[in-house]
Amino acid sequence: MYNNTKNNTYNMKENDYSKEIYDKYCNSEGRILQIFLKDGSMLEGIFGGYFHGDIEVGEPYVIKWHFIPKLDIDKYNSVVLTESTDTLGRIIKQEEIDRVQFKKKK
């Protein structure tokens, strides 16, 4: 397990880094990230929301993320105040994530 903040990468091998990812994401400007899943796939986009876990029973700080793919970001931003956004993106369980990398703002 490593937390390489120099490269903006969080690797999920042993510990729960969901709180650090949450904090970094909420305090970043660009917010575009790459999520590498344990099945070998990579997704690029933003988080549209999250589901908090129950720390008292040993769950991660965030147990699920609402992920919006890069191609759907404009659509998500245009409907977020006027319509339901639950049909956009997908839910990713924290346990499915291998690592997360934050893209540098260009």
The mean per-residue pLDDT over the stretch 51-76 comes to 89
Average pLDDT score over residue span 64-68: 93
Which comes out higher in pLDDT, residue 51 or 6? 51
Residue 105's pLDDT is: 56
**Whole-structure pTM value:** 0.74
Write out the DSSP string of 12-62.
-SSS--HHHHHHHHHT-SS--EEEEETTS-EEEEEEEEEEE--GGGT--SE
Q: What is the pLDDT of residue 2?
A: 38
What pLDDT was estimated at residue 22? 82
Structural domain of residue 79, as residue ranges? 3-102
Whole-number pLDDT of residue 103: 81
Chain centroid, CA 7 distance in Å: 16
Amino acid 52: pLDDT? 92
